[in-house]
Amino acid sequence: MPSDSKNVPTVSPMTKVLAKSLWIAACVFSITAVVASSPGQQPSSPNPSLYLGYRSQNWQPERDWENKFREGIIAGNIRENMRRLSARPHNVGSPYDKDNAEWILSRFKESGFDAHIETFTVLFPTPKERVVELLEPSRFTAKLQEPALPIDPTSNQTAEQLPTYNAYSIDGDVTAPLVYVNYGNREDYERLDRMGISVKGAIVIARYGGGWRGIKPKVAAEHGAIGCIIYSDPRNDGYYDGEDFPGGGWRPRFGVQRGSVLDTDYPGDPLTPGVGATADAKRLAIKDAKTITKIPVLPVSYSDALPLLSALTGPVAPEDWRGALSITYHVGPGPAKVHLKVVSNWDLKPVYDVIAMLHGVDDHHWVLRGNHHDAWVNGAEDPISGQAALLEEARMLGELHRQGWNPKRTIVYCSWDGEEPGLLGSVEWVETHVNELKERAVAYINSDSNSRGFLDVGGTQDLQSLISGVARDIPDPETKMSAFARSHLHSIAHAKNAEERNDLRKRNDLVLQALGDGSDYTAFQDFAGIPTLSVEFDGEQDGTQYHSIYDDFYWYSHFVDTDFVYGRALAETIGSTVMRLADADLIPVDYRPQAEAIQKYEGELEKLLKDKRDEFSERNLELEEGVFTAINDPRRPTLPPPAEAVPPYINFAPLKNSIELLEKSSARYSKALSKWQSSGGPVPSENKLELLNADLLKVSRLFLNENGLPERPWFKNQVYAPGAYTGYGAKTIAAVREYMDEKKWKEAEGQVPQVAQVIENVAAGINQCAADLEALQAPQQ
Ligand SMILES: [Zn+2]
């Protein structure tokens, strides 16, 4: 399924900063001040120049090993890994997917890892029949094919390429008038309602972007549409942004974005929700798998979409709905009449997860690191840019091991299969091993696509201090500033307002955004309650070929990380983080940033309620005043929006009280940690240290409620989850927030106490750890 964190691939605001070079020059001068002033800002947080969780006698050797690790990472190896792994198409079930898994296995073994392949059996539909035709007012048959380009040596591997399609579209054969629905999200349909346009019985055409693709057929079906076409508008990732391929790196006229449209009720194999898809697992019948779409859906290029869009009349599309094609965008319905047919082979296919362990002195606790290896086609960027770096990390960790480095904890490298269709490999593995993982897993670090630019980290904020510390040691390969400084200053440059800028300036860490379900971290965070990071470099790439045949070695090595130095930076960043997690005396978590983040999420709920109250009161007033009647153009009539009941006040007090407890306990832990570190990390007995580590391990599990979210029981985490209508994007405190989105205010309020209870439990867990840590420092009896 997904790739990077970008819903709208992939125009970073950064690429639009014209005065980029001036900007960087300015950064060079200000960074000294930022770093120098930072230690004083948060007096009870651990000093960022220290290695979090290390005793004084241990951080120096750790630093030496990490330096050795980083010096040993070779960009050329990453390049060669990519060349090999992306040489042929390697989607789930293809010969080269298996070949890659076996090659990856042999690389891990060569590096000294204890490695094996774990196989699951999953439902993976592939196209059998695909038709998109315009029947009226003129005839046109869509090509549904990305042509080979002579300059691009792997683009002609037609026999092995998966045709352009959206996996897990239901089979269907429909003919109906066409309606253009912009991105096809819920707000777009509210807009259509006001235009007096219904999609009932229609086929909709939506452009890619503005949210996850799977939402488009889902919301279309909810509004009565019978088919869905999704196309890539050049406004979003084509010539509007820069030269298109092969002259430049942006999506060309025949380029198509494949992708999964599996619904987000639960990720993983649609037939085995909640349990591993082992050979003998109990399976649902395909008709009972509720994550398969309700209407047929196919993706097309804009060259295939153009005749369809050109044949629409009706109202002119609102300004922000218009793309970059040289037509007037109309909404319809019709007179364009379209025939859409999708039939798939509904086969079970094997997925090959490669699991590789470097056993630690303490084999009981695991530090996990993963990236998927399957792609839609050749997948140089998605996912091989991350996979190639992962293998280079493993090679170098193995090399250090040979030189005498013995990690304290066991390191587990995971090369997942089946991510693209729906996180299949990682979800099935986590579901199978969930009890063991809850007992052992310290953290999971994911990567997926990597490009060029700024260090971009998301995850659970208990790891925020750790990753910020590591980022200070990683040089940005092009500017030679630290990856930390560049990322930190980039966030200031793009802050929303002065208040946010001021907040950022006071910080000595990188702020981690919560993760939704964009990649293989999902099951670790949302199902098993494991601290999670997602790491990439991005923002300065010259194009995207996301999920197209042109996402291949030729394109990547010409337009993205051309010398693979950002691949090296990724390996350096993640490998160092893995080592620091594996070797620390104390599991290197710090809960203060997490408490801060959760407080912010609660504030967002209150703001959401206030905004909705204001919005609906204002709307109702305008309806009474006749505003909508007055501004209605009789020649281009629009309907007034419906009157809305103003939401009642919600009692957030239990949540606020629990967050206050969380803040107190996390501040207590941070203070104890700071004191412990600055006194050299006394350990009166190994036993006490291990008791503390065992308690630290439990804290993140306390975010789980085994009943799950009220409408999506697979998602156990009560703070971090993807949204049912945002896909990749996170909806924090989803149990409450999603009912608010649905305007179910009573139900939302009803969830407050149980989320508060979960947060109280977390606070109590952290308090226990703080007490353990204070006891470490108490004079011995
Ligand atoms: Zn990916």
pLDDT at 773 over 70: yes
What is the CA(141)–ligand 1 centre distance, in A? 31
What HEC string does 735-760 produce? HHHHHHHCCCHHHHHHHHHHHHHHHH
Distance 448 CA to ligand 1 centre (A): 5
Residue 33's pLDDT is 29
- Cα 382 to middle of ligand 1, angstroms: 5
Residue-wise pLDDT tens digits, 691-721: 999 999 999 999 999 999 999 999 999 999 9
**What number of CA atoms fall less than 13 Å from residue 50's CA on the CB side?**
22
What spacing in Å lies between the alpha carbon of 430 and ligand 1's midpoint?
Answer: 18
Q: At what angle do helices 498-506 and 483-493 cross, to 10 degrees?
A: 160
- The rounded radius of gyration (Å) of the Cα atoms in the chain is 26
In the reported structure, the alpha carbon of residue 502 is separated from the centroid of ligand 1 by a whole-number distance in angstroms of 35
**Ligand 1 mean position, distance from CA 690 (Å):** 37
pLDDT digits (tens, 9 = 90+) for 537-584: 999 989 999 999 999 999 999 999 999 999 999 999 999 999 999 999
DSSP collapsed to 3 states, 660-729: HHHHHHHHHHHHHHHHHHHCCCCCCCHHHHHHHHHHHHHHHHHHECCCCCCCCCCCCECCCCEECCCEEE
pLDDT band at 596 (very low <50, low <70, confident <90, very high): very high
Average pLDDT score over the chain: 93
Percent of the chain at pLDDT exceeding 90: 90
For residues 524-534, give the mean pLDDT.
98
- Compute, in angstroms, the gap from residue 450 CA to the centroid of ligand 1: 10
How remote is the CA of residue 115 from the centroid of ligand 1, in Å? Answer: 22
Nearest by Cα to 371 from 552, 519, 528: 519
Residues, beta carbon < 5 Å, ion ligand 1: 3, 382-383, 448
Residue 502, C-beta contacts closer than 8 angstroms, at least 6 positions apart: none
Evaluate the CA torsion angle 205, 211, 213, 218 in order and state its sign. negative
Q: How far is the CA of 303 from the centre of ligand 1 (A)?
A: 26
What's the rounded Cα separation, in Å, for the pair 430 and 530? 11
Separation of 519 CA from ligand 1 center, angstroms?
A: 7
How many angstroms does the Cα of residue 650 sit away from the middle of ligand 1? 39
Ligand 1 center–CA 433 separation, angstroms:
23
The Å distance, Cα 380 to ligand 1 centre, comes to 10
Report the separation in Å between the CA atom of 83 and the middle of ligand 1, taken as the mean of its atom positions. Answer: 17
CA of 389 to the centre of ligand 1 (A): 14
Q: Quote the CA–CA distance of 681 and 58 in Å, as a whole number.
A: 9
Q: Tell me the per-residue pLDDT of 442-491, one tens digit each, with 9 for 90 and over.
A: 999 999 999 999 999 999 999 999 999 999 999 999 999 999 999 999 99
C-alpha 612 to ligand 1 mean position (Å): 36
Give residue 412 CA to ligand 1 midpoint distance, Å: 20
- Ligand 1 center to 512 CA (angstroms): 20
Strand 114-136 versus strand 140-141 pairing type: antiparallel
Nearest CA to 260 out of 172, 165, 188 is that of 165
Q: What is the pLDDT of residue 780?
A: 54
Distance 419 CA to ligand 1 centre (A): 7
Using the mean position of ligand 1's atoms as its centre, give its distance from the Cα of residue 112 in Å. 27
CA of 446 to the centre of ligand 1 (A): 11
Checking if the pLDDT of 774 tops 90, the result is yes
How many residues make up the chain in this entry? Answer: 781
pLDDT at res. 609: 98
Task: State the average pLDDT over residues 360-377.
Answer: 96
CB 121 within 8 A of CB 350: yes
Ligand 1 geometric centre to CA of 738 (Å): 27
Query: Do 445 and 574 form a contact (C-beta atoms < 8 A)?
Result: yes
Q: From ligand 1's centre to the CA of 151, what distance in Å?
A: 25
* Residue 81 amino acid letter: N
pTM value is: 0.94
Q: How far is the CA of 416 from the centre of ligand 1 (A)?
A: 10
pLDDT digits (tens, 9 = 90+) for 146-174: 999 999 999 999 999 999 999 999 999 99
The Å distance, Cα 760 to ligand 1 centre, comes to 36
Calpha distance 317→180 (Å, rounded): 8
**Cross-strand partners of 316:** 330
